[in-house]
Amino acid sequence: MRGLKDRVFIVAGGASGIGAATAARLTEEGAAVVIGDLSAEHARQAAARLAAGGARALGVGFDIVVEDSVRALIAAAVEHFGGLDGIHVNAADIDALQHDTDAETVPLEVFDRTLAVNLRGHLLCTRHALPELLRRGGGSLVYTSSGSAFMGEPQRLAYGISKSGLHGLLRHVASRWGKQGVRANAVAPGLVMTDAVRRSMDGDACAAVLGITRSPRLGEPRDIAAAVAFLMSDDGEWINGQVLSVDGGATMR
């Protein structure tokens, strides 16, 4: 892909699953990557695996709900690799998701935590990445949304709201800073078979999702990584303010 080599990216929530695959793909394209994650140990391990293959990768512990921590993550990219060209904001609180029910019953602490990580944290990443992107003459923000942002589901209320909120955030950022070379987009994955999903989801539930998927298989982390890399690259330079569904056709809009 054009324009990824020697660029600098952060994957915020990049130690596992989709984020780790995105970090790997970006380094395969010749970029330097900072992997930020709540688990500093896992972030460092993920970066070390990439570095062992010759990539420029740094692992940093950070908490997306803590502003100073987000600020330090952005600063680490600038200090280590000399600037910032893009950020993939990917973190989500998967534990809260297990208790995320409906409007009548969802515990308010689950609702608040979900929005703090999945939406407010994305605002913090945006706010602190923007000055660095503008210093480079522009850059790309890619958020990980979900099909649940527009499907309407009887459960997972907070999750769906948090992901819908990202669409408002990215449209705002594209409108406010687009003329200055900033692009903001999201990928909306369908069911992606990360290690965690493989461990936790039973076969019947996977088969049900496959049933509504037009493609013959469920998603793999590399499918989402490829879409994020494209949106980060110069091949995606005229794509702004969009939500790209990467779900084997499970949703059609």
Ligand X SMILES: NC(=O)c1ccc[n+]([C@@H]2O[C@H](COP(=O)([O-])OP(=O)(O)OC[C@H]3O[C@@H](n4cnc5c(N)ncnc54)[C@H](O)[C@@H]3O)[C@@H](O)[C@H]2O)c1
DSSP code for 2? T
- Contact by Cβ (8 Å): 206, 250: no
Rg, C-alpha atoms of the chain = 17
CB of 190 to ligand X, least distance (A): 6
- State which residue, 27 or 148, has the beta carbon closest to ligand X: 148
One character per residue 98-137, x = contact with ligand X (rule: CB under 6 A):
-------------------x--------------------
Determine, following the binding rule CB under 6 A, whether residue 19 of this chain makes contact with ligand X: yes
Tokens of 148: 């649940």
Q: How many residues bind ligand X (CB under 6 A)?
A: 27
Measured from the CB atom, the residue of 2 and 208 that comes closer to ligand X is 208
Using CB under 6 A, which residues numbered 59 to 98 contact ligand X? 62-65, 90-94
Q: Is 201 in the site for ligand X (CB under 6 A)?
A: no
3-state secondary structure of 142: strand
Q: Which stretches within the chain are classed as H helix?
A: 17-28, 40-52, 67-81, 94-97, 108-115, 121-135, 148-151, 157-177, 195-200, 203-211, 221-232
Complex with ligand X: residue 39 or 180, whichever CB lies closer = 39
User: Would you state the structure tokens that stand for residue 238, as one six-digit string?
Assistant: 């005229």
Q: CA-CA distance, 202 to 241, in Å (whole number)?
A: 35
Give the nearest residue (CB) to ligand X.
17
Q: Is 149 in the site for ligand X (CB under 6 A)?
A: no
Q: Is 192 in the site for ligand X (CB under 6 A)?
A: yes
Q: Any idea what DSSP says for residue 192?
A: B
For the sheet containing 243-246, what is the strand order? 57-61, 32-37, 8-12, 86-89, 139-144, 182-189, 243-246
In angstroms, what is the minimal distance from the CB of 39 to ligand X?
Answer: 5
For residue 6, the minimal CB distance to ligand X (Å) is 26
CA distances from 141 to 76, 158, 163, 202, 228 (A): 17, 23, 15, 34, 9
Question: Which of 139, 189, 236, 248 forms a contact with ligand X (CB under 6 A)?
Answer: 189
Q: Is 159 a catalytic residue?
A: yes
Per-residue mark of binding to ligand X, 213-242 (x: CB under 6 A)? ------------------------------
Task: Answer yes or no whether residue 38 interacts with ligand X by CB under 6 A.
Answer: yes
Minimum distance between the CB of residue 165 and ligand X, rounded to whole angstroms? 12
18 binds ligand X (CB under 6 A): yes
DSSP per-residue string spanning 24-53: HHHHHTT-EEEEEES-HHHHHHHHHHHHHT
- Contacts with ligand X, residue ranges (CB under 6 A): 13, 15-19, 37-39, 62-65, 90-94, 117, 144, 146, 189, 191-192, 194, 196-197
